[in-house]
Amino acid sequence: MARSISRRRQIVVTLLAWAIGLAIFFPILWTILTSFKTEAEAIASPPSLFMFDWTLENYGEVQERSNYFRHFSNSVIISLGSTLLGLLIAIPAAWSMAFVPAKRTKDILMWMLSTKMLPPVGVLIPIYLLFRDTGLLDTRTGLVIVLTLVNLPIIIWMLFTYFREIPGEILEASRMDGAQLWDEIIYVLTPMAIPGIASTLLLNVILAWNEAFWTLNLTAAKAAPLTAFIASYSSPEGLFYAKLSAASTMAIAPILILGWFSQKQLVRGLTFGAVK
Amino acid sequence: MATTHSRVAARFMLSPAVLLLLAWMIVPLSMTIYFSFLRYNLLNPAIDAWAGWSNYEYFLTDPAFFAALTNTLLLVGGVLLITIIGGTLLALLLDQPIWGQGIVRILVLAPFFVMPTVSALVWKNMFMNPVNGLFAHAAKALGLQPFDFLAHAPLFSIILIVAWQWLPFAALILLTALQSMDQEQMDASEMDGAGPFSRFFYLVLPHLSRAITVVVLIQTIFLLSIFAEILVTTNGGPGYASTNITYLVYAQSLLQFDVGGGSAGGIIAVILANIVAIFLMRMIGKNLEA
């Protein structure tokens, strides 16, 4: 078989894959390394990769100067809050469409998907004005509401594709045994649905954490999550590479770790089940 | 079989989601349509006269609109070109037997999880800055003149940044599709003497075509609305050199407070996105029946 020459090939392919992988990852690695440098070393020429005096002072200073943890907790509250609220609305909806399909179920699903395709600038002005008039501008509540609605179609779709895979015969069997609707939900469906719900939660926390249209346009200082806080480093006086790197590292680290767990769900969730 | 009881319950469970999404879609969108026919500026709220089609006329004949439309198409097209070709090659590479494949996958996927403002600022400051960026250091080391990316090639630079963020997405989806390929068919064609290129063009590419279409459509939806990357790198400049339609509408409405003009632009953006959306919905709708 042709597989016998494959050892040398595997070495070449491995080296190539590692080189490309490291190149793609390099900007993130560089950011993490720079966060441990002093400001002077961060812009030194020629720059050094590892040989510098490692320091943690940037992390302390970012917190001290700009109250970093307020923005961090804004991010946590907004992304987790909007995801949980979304799940609360989406679980019953996806459950009913997956197990009690009606004639129009497909149309309803497609229509829900179509709301996700509405470009945000199409509704920017009304939302901005409504928020201004109701005092929701620059509040965490306001962002939780908007991000819940923005991600609701994705949440429903993801749950629907998971629920659809739960075999209907199990339900019929439990119904024959005389189970009521609520017994069915609590004892039969919930245990089978938990993995799907968990992956949906994971992916949507990631999406909400990184959302950068509404968070930038609807917050100022108070409710600004990390996306908006980091954006404030774009001003010229914010050209402190080491501090920018420290703030960035802390902003992306939790999501990088969550993201690595969600690789498979990512494909299913973001293609609305079209690629599995 | 569903009983009437459970059917009523099902409708009851579905209604909150439907009503909320209906409200989210209809209320603001009809407000935008209404505003787009008004002469309405937040700086001068006393004037809110009926404007007819003049906002649309103003927006569509503004030279900035054509610059923004061209930039939007270049941005979407450029990023798609890089991510689809790069993503296919990357997926083919990662599908091979590699030592430490899991780690390489993680490294490749990482940029997708970086928030847009972080990736844009890291690229802008630490790589593309003409004085202190890594590219400038590299150019000086080679005895070349450092290039000011964001001043002289702003749109191209933004395309690079956005492509870096979306390449992992394309690669991951295409890799997932590759892994569902029929290995026996590949082995058989290899034994029949098909070379790697003919195998790629006659077996792999047709198998990937569906996944590629999905990647193109989904990325297009997101790429039409690129905003944060432009806001923190160039603010749409110099001039309108890196303004896309999303950014133009934002500038018109929240920087110039022109509600009427901004709304007209928003509706135009909605129409453009709809054209793409129709194709995407057909693709996904087909899958729903399978």
CATH number of the domain where residue A138 is located:
1.10.3720.10
Q: End-to-end alpha-carbon separation of chain A, Å? A: 31
Q: Is the pLDDT of residue A238 over 60?
A: no
- The label of the residue with tokens 């009926």 reads B50
Asked if residue B59 lies in contact with residue B44, where contact means CB atoms within 8 angstroms, the answer is no
- The number of distinct structural domains making up chain B is 1
Q: What are the angstrom distances between the C-alpha of B207 and each of A163, B166, B204? A: 27, 22, 5
Q: Is residue A32 part of a domain?
A: yes
Collect all residues with Cβ–Cβ distance below 8 Å to A233 and sequence separation of at least 6: A240, A243, A244, A247, B121, B232
Q: Identify the pLDDT of residue B85.
A: 95
Q: Which residues of B touch A108 (CB under 8 A)?
A: 14, 18
Q: End-to-end alpha-carbon separation of chain B, Å? A: 21
Residue of A nearest to B175 (CA): A267
Domain span at residue B84 reads 53-289
Residues A46 and A111 in one domain: no
CB contact under 8 A, B132 and A241: yes
CB contact under 8 A, B2 and A149: no
Asked if residue A156 lies in contact with residue A112, where contact means CB atoms within 8 angstroms, the answer is yes
- The number of distinct structural domains making up chain A is 2
Residue of B nearest to A12 (CA): B98
Question: What is the arithmetic mean of pLDDT over A215-227?
Answer: 85
Q: Identify the pLDDT of residue A86.
A: 93
Residues A131 and A29 in one domain: no
Give the three-state DSSP class for B41. strand
Residues A22 and A100 in one domain: no
Q: What's the mean pLDDT when you consider all of chain A?
A: 83
For this complex, say whether ipTM is above 0.90. Answer: no
Identity of the residue in A22, A43, A100 whose CB atom sits nearest the CB atom of B132: A43
Q: How far apart are the CA of A231 and the nearest CA of chain B, in angstroms?
A: 6
Q: Is residue B9 part of a domain?
A: no
Q: Is residue A275 part of a domain?
A: no
Rounded Cα distance, B283 and B212, in Å? 11
Give the three-state DSSP class for B256. coil
Q: Which A residues 184-243 touch B at CB under 8 Å?
A: 206, 209-210, 212-213, 216-217, 226-228, 230-231, 233-234, 239, 241
Q: Identify the pLDDT of residue A144.
A: 94
Tokens describing residue B239? 């001039």
Rounded Cα distance, B216 and B193, in Å? 33
Q: Is residue B135 part of a domain?
A: yes
Q: Identify the pLDDT of residue A83.
A: 94
Mean pLDDT by 10 residues, chain B (290 residues): 68 86 88 84 73 81 87 92 94 87 88 91 85 81 81 89 93 88 79 81 83 84 88 84 88 82 86 81 66
Residues A121 and A258 in one domain: yes
Residues A164 and A67 in one domain: yes
Query: Of A89 and A99, which is predicted with more confidence?
Result: A89
Q: Is residue B97 part of a domain?
A: yes
Q: Identify the pLDDT of residue A1.
A: 45
Residues A69 and A51 in one domain: no
pTM, two decimals, is 0.86
Q: Is residue B36 part of a domain?
A: no
Q: What are the angstrom distances between the C-alpha of B121 and each of A227, A241, B240? A: 11, 10, 20
Q: Is the pLDDT of residue A4 over 60?
A: no
Q: Is residue A276 part of a domain?
A: no
Identity of the residue in A14, A90, A126 whose CB atom sits nearest the CB atom of B28: A126
Q: Is residue B88 part of a domain?
A: yes
Residues A28 and A107 in one domain: no
Residue of B nearest to A268 (CA): B173
Residues A88 and A196 in one domain: yes
CB contact under 8 A, A110 and B224: no
Query: Of A46 and A4, which is predicted with more confidence?
Result: A46
Q: Identify the pLDDT of residue A24.
A: 93
Q: How far apart are the CA of A226 and the nearest CA of chain B, in angstroms?
A: 9
CB contact under 8 A, B97 and A16: no
Q: Which residues of A touch B189 (CB under 8 A)?
A: none
Domain span at residue A17 reads 2-57
Q: Is residue B243 part of a domain?
A: yes
Q: Identify the pLDDT of residue B1.
A: 47
Tokens describing residue A34? 């720079």
Q: Is residue A150 part of a domain?
A: yes
CATH number of the domain encompassing residue B108: 1.10.3720.10
Q: Is residue B196 part of a domain?
A: yes
Residues A139 and A188 in one domain: yes
CB contact under 8 A, B105 and A241: no
Q: Is A109 in the B-facing interface, judged by CB distances under 8 Å? A: yes
Residues A128 and A39 in one domain: no
Residue of B nearest to A113 (CA): B281
Residues A41 and A142 in one domain: no
Q: Is residue B85 part of a domain?
A: yes
Q: What are the angstrom distances between the C-alpha of A260 and each of A81, A203, A266, B106, B187? A: 22, 11, 10, 6, 32
Rounded Cα distance, A74 and A79, in Å? 8
Asked if residue A146 lies in contact with residue A223, where contact means CB atoms within 8 angstroms, the answer is no
Residues A66 and A32 in one domain: no
